[in-house]
């Protein structure tokens, strides 16, 4: 299988410019700048069926086309490298092992949308990622791959690394923009959308690291090549992060449409000690969990949506039959309660209420009404907030309650345990 985003992982000094140039680095950017129009680049990305690989899965070329060319304001590209979704750890590998692949994708994207400045928003805990990315930018400026007249063209581009403060909500694109502007990371009401009113009230494209790292190979080898690698409407490969109860946790690059069963049992080596699969989160902690009878699903955006879950960030968390699902729900609920930004009262109050209820049940102090109230509480959060964080609480914790209700009931019927 031909690798794309991970093609240079594990090579010696893969993060250095000299190593990148030996692998035909920046050839795609030169091709785009000297032989293609912005409209041709956008059309090629559209035909590739590249979709946003940060979670939402929105068609990338279509997102770019929303930037109004006639708008006299500056245009910006913002790279979402916040990667705060539990179970997700793929973008950090690109930032640390192949930062120039991201920079090449940034150059092409900026040229396509008419932007001369890009920001890379990296979560503050990713110290090595920040250092590697900044070092790559410094190399690129020195060798004229960034700055004035890049690669001898008439196109100028500046790239800035911005460390985030470690708030999960800043992975939401408009909260990220607020944070980048120096404000508290509160999501914005939409519309207007960032393509019209984004960073500094200017037209802005926001894409994640893996998405933009795929742009260079698409321009080099063509949209048809990339589209054929994946499934219908989901072009190319994807980096899947597998953790939890598997023999070989890690990051695996596989075509969109690979089944979840193949990921768990072939690539990740199955479940340790001959244990049985109990549940699996397919796309980061926000995704509704799946049961063993659902793992023949194709791991693409449309297939997972069709069975009531989502591909999300590609973070797969596997749980074997020793897992206490009430405990797992409590951990998820605790995370959401802690990370709610507090802007919307249904989420601010509701996420804490959900956590307290599940915690009470887990410790054996729950009453029947605590369990009976949970579906109503979570359903009153989702759909009633500015951003999708409230929906994540509803979908995630709600799936534990609906699919493993008997485990919640068992803890209520038992004698109260000591906290």
Give tens-digit pLDDT for 299-311. Answer: 999 999 999 999 9
What's the pLDDT score for residue 411? 94
What's the CATH code of the domain at 396? 1.20.1440.230
**Residue pair 417/363 in contact by the 8 Å Cβ criterion:** yes
Residue 285: domain span: 237-320
pLDDT beyond 70 at 416: no
Mean pLDDT of the chain: 95
- For residue 419, what pLDDT band results from cuts at 50, 70 and 90? very low
**Residue pair 304/295 in contact by the 8 Å Cβ criterion:** no
Is the domain of 316 the same as that of 333?
no
Is the domain of 93 the same as that of 195?
yes
The 3-state secondary structure of 269-320, one letter per residue: CCCHHHCCEEEEECCCCCCCCECHHHCCCECCHHHHHHCCCCCCCCEEEEEE
Q: Tens digits of per-residue pLDDT, 251-296?
A: 999 999 899 999 999 999 999 999 999 999 999 999 999 999 999 9
- For residue 203, what pLDDT band results from cuts at 50, 70 and 90? very high
The residue among 286, 320, 354 that closes a domain is 320
DSSP state of 59: B
Q: Is residue 3 part of a domain?
A: no
Among 334, 329, 351, 333, residue whose Cα is nearest residue 342:
351
233 vs 46 pLDDT, higher one = 46
Is the domain of 241 the same as that of 359?
no
pLDDT beyond 50 at 106: yes
What's the CATH code of the domain at 98? 3.40.50.11540
What's the pLDDT score for residue 413? 67
Query: CA-CA distances (angstroms) from residue 352 to 74, 86, 347, 348, 402?
Result: 41, 19, 8, 7, 19
Is the domain of 88 the same as that of 183?
yes
Mean of pLDDT values over 315-324: 98
Q: What percent of the chain has pLDDT over 90?
A: 94
Q: Is residue 7 part of a domain?
A: no
Among 411, 409, 403, residue whose Cα is nearest residue 280:
403
The residue among 305, 320, 335 that closes a domain is 320
Is the domain of 316 the same as that of 336?
no
**Residue pair 112/154 in contact by the 8 Å Cβ criterion:** no
Is the domain of 94 the same as that of 153?
yes
Q: Is residue 9 part of a domain?
A: no
Among 54, 84, 284, residue whose Cα is nearest residue 165:
84
Q: Tens digits of per-residue pLDDT, 349-388?
A: 999 999 999 999 999 999 999 999 999 999 899 899 999 9
What's the CATH code of the domain at 290? 3.10.20.600
Q: Is residue 367 part of a domain?
A: yes
What's the pLDDT score for residue 418? 52
Distance CA 153, CA 34 (A): 7
Residue 336 is inside which H or E element, if any?
helix 325-339
The residue among 194, 228, 262 that closes a domain is 228
Q: Is residue 311 part of a domain?
A: yes
Mean of pLDDT values over 141-160: 96
Placement of tokens 């960034």 in the chain: 146
Mean of pLDDT values over 48-66: 93
Q: Tens digits of per-residue pLDDT, 212-262?
A: 999 999 999 999 999 999 888 899 999 999 999 999 999 999 999 899 999
Is the domain of 364 the same as that of 217?
no
Is the domain of 90 the same as that of 216?
yes
Is the domain of 387 the same as that of 293?
no
Q: Is residue 46 part of a domain?
A: yes
pLDDT beyond 50 at 326: yes
Q: What percent of the chain has pLDDT over 70?
A: 98
What's the pLDDT score for residue 124? 92
Distance CA 98, CA 86 (A): 22
Is the domain of 28 the same as that of 147?
yes
Q: What is the CA radius of gyration of the chain?
A: 22
Q: Is residue 180 part of a domain?
A: yes
Is the domain of 71 the same as that of 194?
yes
pLDDT beyond 70 at 99: yes
Q: Is residue 4 part of a domain?
A: no
pLDDT beyond 80 at 154: yes
Is the domain of 163 the same as that of 69?
yes
Predicted TM-score (pTM) above 0.85? yes
Q: Tens digits of per-residue pLDDT, 132-150?
A: 999 999 999 999 999 999 9
What's the pLDDT score for residue 55? 83
**Residue pair 118/73 in contact by the 8 Å Cβ criterion:** no
Mean of pLDDT values over 82-96: 95
What's the pLDDT score for residue 277? 98
Tally of structural domains, the chain: 3
């Amino acid at each position: 299988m031909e690798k794309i985003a991970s093609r240079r992982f594990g090579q010696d000094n893969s993060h250095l410019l000299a190593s990148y140039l030996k692998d035909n680095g920046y050839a795609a950017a030169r091709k785009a700048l000297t032989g293609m129009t912005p409209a041709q680049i956008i059309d090629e990305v559209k035909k590739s069926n590249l979709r946003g690989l940060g979670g939402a899965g929105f068609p990338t070329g279509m997102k770019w086309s929303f930037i109004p060319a006639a708008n006299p304001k500056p245009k910006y590209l913002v790279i979402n490298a916040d990667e705060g979704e539990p179970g997700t750890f793929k973008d950090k590998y690109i930032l640390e092992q192949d930062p120039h692949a991201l920079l090449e994708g940034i150059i092409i994207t900026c040229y396509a949308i008419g932007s001369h400045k890009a920001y890379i928003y990296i979560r503050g805990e990713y110290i090595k990622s920040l250092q590697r990315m900044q070092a790559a930018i410094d190399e690129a400026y020195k060798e004229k791959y960034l700055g004035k007249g890049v690669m001898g063209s008439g196109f100028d581009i500046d790239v800035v690394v911005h460390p985030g403060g470690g708030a999960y909500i800043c992975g939401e694109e408009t909260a990220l923009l607020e944070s980048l502007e120096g404000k508290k990371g509160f999501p914005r009401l939409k519309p207007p959308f960032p393509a019209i009113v984004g960073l500094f009230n200017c037209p802005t494209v926001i894409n994640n690291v893996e998405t933009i790292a795929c742009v260079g190979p698409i321009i080099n080898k063509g949209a048809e090549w990339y589209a054929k690698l994946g499934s219908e409407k989901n072009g190319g490969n994807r980096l899947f992060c597998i953790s939890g109860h598997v023999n070989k946790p890690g990051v695996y690059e596989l075509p969109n449409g690979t089944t979840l069963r193949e990921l768990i049992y072939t690539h990740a080596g199955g479940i340790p000690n001959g244990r049985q699969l109990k549940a699996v989160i397919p796309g980061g902690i926000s995704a509704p969990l799946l049961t063993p009878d659902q793992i023949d699903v194709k791991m693409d955006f449309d297939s997972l949506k069709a069975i009531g879950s989502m591909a999300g960030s590609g973070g797969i968390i596997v749980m074997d039959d020793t897992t206490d699902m009430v405990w797992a729900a409590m951990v998820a609920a605790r995370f959401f309660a802690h990370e709610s930004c507090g802007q919307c009262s249904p989420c601010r109050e509701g996420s804490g209420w959900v956590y307290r209820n599940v915690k009470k049940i887990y410790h054996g102090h729950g009453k029947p009404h605590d369990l009976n109230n949970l579906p109503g509480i979570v359903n009153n959060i989702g759909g009633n907030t500015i951003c999708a964080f409230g929906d994540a609480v509803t979908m995630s914790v709600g799936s534990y309650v609906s699919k493993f209700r008997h485990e919640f009931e068992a803890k209520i019927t038992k004698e109260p345990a000591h906290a």
